[in-house]
Amino acid sequence: MTMRPPNPAPAGGLRPAPRPAGRRRAAVRTGLLAALALTACTARPDAALSPPAAVAHRQPTAGTTKPAAPRHPTDDGTVSAPRDPADGGAVSALHRLVADGAPGAASLTTRGGGDFATRFATAGVADLHSGRRIGPQDHFRAGSITKTLVATVILQLVAEGRLTLHDSAAAHLPPGVPARGEGDGSDLRRVTIRQLLDHTSGLFNYTADPRLSRQLSGAGFGAHRYDSHTPGELLRIALGHPPVAAPGTRFAYSNTNYLVLGLVIEAVTGHPYDAEIRRRILVPAGLGHTSFPGTDPVLPEPHGRGYARIGHRRVDTTSLDPSRAGAAGEMITTLGDLNRFFSALLGGKILAPRQMAEIRSEKSTGGTYGLGLYSTALPCGVTVWGHDGDINGSYTRTAGTADGRHVVSYRINTAPLPDPAHGTAVLTAEFCARRPTGGRPAPGPPARQ
């Protein structure tokens, strides 16, 4: 899910001066709780960025990481697999993303429903200054893929009988959180939990507020990249706008929906939404490289850089206060953790069968979006399930077969995705390598606006 309003000017700032680290919520290591290491970020928001001479004229390189036998786990818990017919297509698809303007691109494929056989491919660079390539263990901001984990916790609460999909959103808010706006503003009393999950609530997207959007991703990003925001503050901005549609009448993607769902989890459980995700998903699934940073602007090591354009300049957007995204998109993760999560989710290891049927149900949106998950029909006839996400300087997408036994995640270190069709081509190269295609391009992710 994009963290920007319709058609904004991409924005960022170059090499901001270090800011004291904010609140970092504890990340979970497999089998134990531990804090992820933080590193200082040294960037200035007001200088234009251009590649160093050593990198600027070098053709982006690409390749796949795979020793001869699948018996050598990496530090990220992945294992390289033997050569696969999809390798050439995957690398070509990543090259295309770099040719479109991404500094770097990478993908990780998992087969067999676990970590046993994986393939990592990369093109371009993770850092325009050092020229180093993206590594399989690099951390990055996953944007709206956060939503799939939030939806999963909501559906677990439904299975436990602690709320229903037909409940009013206003019935499950923490004390002091507004349920309606002034005048013609939106009203959460008319919105159901299901409508929040599948983006049919009609709630205004808070990131589309003109003033806020300039600060989040427009000309004001450099001055406001470290501003902290509370969910209540952002919700008030959204509720102050009239709804874009009557609840339940049409699909309209809105970050506000999942901002509210994060508050619903807190009200129902008595714990912040990220604490429930850690307890219910990260620890059981062994997602030891995934975290919810709160107000902390620093990515854990190792990580590359994130880039965006403001006006005609490419600028570094790596360091920012992620409270702008909250439950709609603050998550930090790795390609390996994304594959593990979606393999477990699609494989039926996290949700009960009834809730699995609900999360895949796209009936209310005419086949566009389920409850935090959406399907993509590829040209070869394969249908894959997953989600995508972007936030300043980072775009990611994960997709897998219905049984979760074949999953791929890919990412670029810029946002938005320059050409959605070329992003979907990564999936086609992966899932259609051994199948004939019908000649029609696969659709891209659901429309954001």
Q: How far is the C-alpha of 389 from the C-alpha of 406, rounded, in Å?
A: 20
Residues in CB range of 263: below 8 A, 6 or more apart:
173, 174, 177, 231, 232, 235, 273, 327
β-strand 104-111 against 117-124: which pairing, if any?
A: antiparallel
- Cβ(338)–Cβ(145) under 8 Å? yes
Token pair recorded at residue 65: 């990481």
Give the residue from 296, 289, 280 showing the smallest Cα distance to 330: 296
Residues marked active site are found at 144
At position 40, the amino acid (one-letter code) is: A
Q: How far is the C-alpha of 229 from the C-alpha of 22, rounded, in Å?
A: 12
Q: Return the exposure string of 124-162: e unless at least 16 CB atoms fall within 10 Å of the residue's CB, then b.
A: bbbbbeeebbbbbbbbbbbbbbbbbbbbbbbbbbbeeee
Count of positions (residues) in the chain: 449
CA dihedral 137→142→147→150, nearest 10 degrees, is 40
Token pair recorded at residue 4: 């920007």
Q: How far is the C-alpha of 237 from the C-alpha of 163, rounded, in Å?
A: 26
